[in-house]
Amino acid sequence: MTLPALLSQPLKMLIDGEWVTGHSGARMDVINPSNGQVLVQESLGGAREVDLAVQAARRAFESGPWARMRPAERTRLLLKLADALEQNGDELALLETLNTGKPLKMARAFDIGMAAECLRYNAGWATKLSGETRNVSLPGDWHAYTLREPVGVVGLIVPWNVPLAMAVSKISPALAAGCTVVLKPAELTPLTALRLGELIQAIGFPPGVVNIVTGLGHEAGQAIVDHPGVDKISFTGSTVVGKSLLASAAGNLKRVALELGGKSPVFIFADADLDRAMDAAARGIFGNTGQVCAAGSRLFVHRSVADRVIEGIVQRARALRVAPGLSPECDIGPVISARQRERVMGYIDSGRAEGAEVVTGGEALQGEGFFVQPTVLVNTRPDMKVVREEIFGPVLSTQLFDDDSLEQLAARGNDTEYGLSSSIWTRDLRTAHQMARRLRAGNVRVNAAAALDFAMPFGGYKQSGWGRENGREGVEAYTELKSVAIDLN
């Protein structure tokens, strides 16, 4: 295997079209979670790098080629970037797998494929965003209309579970809307974001339109949130950090979009296509080693089919090969870090201590890398930590239901601080629609394993977030609306 050129020297940051090192000289190792080895070092930026990046983004926003660029030209640049992602897809997938441990095939098909599709979807919005004329009832003769304008300089803060696709899912609508950006990748996973930066440069985006500052959350991330020159923050990550950002963003009343955690319920009714439901339930919690905000982590299954369904999911869990991402044998890679492995194991232990039974998995694998077995817990109760808190690992908790009314069942599903996603498996239309209405979650899937499409808004109710990504709403989130009223008298 030839290593990508990016790894041949310490990583730099992209500020104002130049590759630079943080002025403090501080660096951190970037680790391969499949074997715990160092891949390369990244530069740790702080307030000074963020300030330079924000100034560059401001200049690019207010003057220069980007500010004058017609929407159709922005579309073309975004489409070119999508093509470049695909042309460099094998290398990007390799970087993503080295940095996250996810199976290489998955990185290539899903992570890189999704990122390219996301760019293409949003590229089209550059020419389609628009205001409206309004019929006003003011005395006299008026011409009144709204204008949609880019919000300005946006700070994009992303996590480590789907590094490239998350970065692109924020960059694409922001650029389509005409904003300029400062991106901070997660400290654990800077590789694909920096390679993306190289491609952005090569394609010819003007300097300062996309800046990438690597560094720690409480330093570089916090500096972005504190900076008075940033007009909006779009953050994906933990609910704890999401809440803490609000106070800092209050300084200049930045717009804030938050895509946070989840504890999403999956309901399997007795009349469901059980084989498909079991496949989807297993994939929904074990895919990406459970490190997915919309993971279906709470299973509710009807008592009459519970033995069969739980046994089916357990068999699927046992059949999954836990291995390094580069191994052709890999179905499930490691979790992202030793710390995340401890966190996941801590939850499994707390489940055991509170009386849950581990029917499969439940152990970390010895040796190199941060591996955890796919785990299924039964006899879980709604008050247990494993049922209440987001684990962000391959751990499914299961609960049974009898002939509860749909109202009671939905209330059990809604008994959580979160409200990101939910799945319903039934052949009964009435059950499907009634449950879909009652669930307090931003996303409902019916008889569907995965339903992520860039045309569909994605985001959370309750403590799963603020705002929506994707769809028209996702691009409009990077705009301000201006009302213009002209007195024609």
Residues at the contact surface with ligand NAP, assessed by CB under 6 A? 157-161, 184, 186-188, 216-218, 221-222, 225, 236-238, 241, 244-245, 259-261, 293, 343, 390, 392
- Helix (H) / strand (E) element for 165: namely helix 163-176
List, in sequence order, every residue forming a beta bridge with 211; answer none if it has no partner: 182
CB 260 within 8 A of CB 465: yes
Q: Kind of pairing, strands 142-150 and 133-134?
A: antiparallel
Can residue 242 be called a binding residue for Mg ion (CB under 5 A)? no
The pair of three-digit structure tokens given for residue 77, joined into one six-digit string: 């640049």
State the Cα–Cα distance between residues 331 and 366, nearest whole angstrom: 18
Least gap, CB of 156 to ligand NAP (angstroms) = 10
150 strand-pairing partners = 479
DSSP letter for each residue of 425-473? E-S-HHHHHHHHHH--SS--EES-S----TTS-B--SGGGEES-BSHHH
Closest contact distance (angstroms) between CB of 29 and Mg ion is 16
Of 69-77, 210-218, 260-268, 383-391: span binding Mg ion (CB under 5 A): 210-218
Nearer to Mg ion, 217 or 465 (CB): 217
Catalytic residue list contains 259: yes
In whole angstroms, how close is the CB of 44 to ligand NAP at the nearest point? Answer: 9
Q: How far apart are CA 295 and CA 115, in angstroms?
A: 19
What does 237 bind: Mg ion, ligand NAP, none (CB cut-off 5 to 8 Å by kind)? ligand NAP
User: 210-212 and 142-150: which strand pairing?
Assistant: unpaired
* CA–CA separation, 469 and 477 (whole Å): 8
Q: How far is it, in rounded angstroms, from Cα 465 to Cα 452?
A: 17
Residue 217 touches Mg ion, criterion: CB under 5 A? yes
Taking the C-alpha atoms of residue 126 and residue 148, their distance in angstroms, rounded to an integer, is 11
The CB-side HSE value for 38 (13 A sphere, CA atoms) comes to 10
| Nearer of residues 388 and 438 to ligand NAP, judged by Cβ | 388
Does 221 bind Mg ion (CB under 5 A)? Our answer is no
Catalytic residue among 49, 259, 390, 469: 259
Residue 214 and residue 13 in contact, taking contact as beta carbons nearer than 8 Å: yes
114 closest CA partner among 160, 166, 75, 161: 166
Q: Which amino acid is at 363?
A: E
Catalytic residue, candidates 293, 330, 390, 469: 293
Q: How far is the CB of 237 from ligand NAP (least distance, A)?
A: 3
Q: Would you state the structure tokens that stand for residue 54, as one six-digit string?
A: 């924000």
* CB 49, min distance to ligand NAP, A: 14
Q: Which is nearer to Mg ion, 343 or 352 (CB)?
A: 343
Residue placing its CB nearer to ligand NAP in the complex, 233 or 432: 233
Q: By CB under 5 A, what part of segment 91-120 binds Mg ion? A: none
The entry of ligand NAP, Mg ion, none that residue 236 binds, CB within 5 to 8 Å by partner kind = ligand NAP
Q: In the 8-state DSSP scheme, what is residue 218?
A: I
CB of 102 to ligand NAP, least distance (A): 14
The site partner of 186 among ligand NAP, Mg ion, none (C-beta below 5 to 8 Å per kind) is ligand NAP
Are 81 and 73 spatial neighbours (Cβ–Cβ below 8 Å)?
Answer: no
Q: How far is the CB of 218 from ligand NAP (least distance, A)?
A: 5
* Residue in the structure block whose two tokens are 């939905």: 410
Secondary structure letter of residue 417 according to DSSP: S
Toward ligand NAP, which CB reaches closer, 82 or 344? 344
Residues engaged in binding Mg ion (CB under 5 A): 217
> So which residues are the catalytic ones?
259, 293
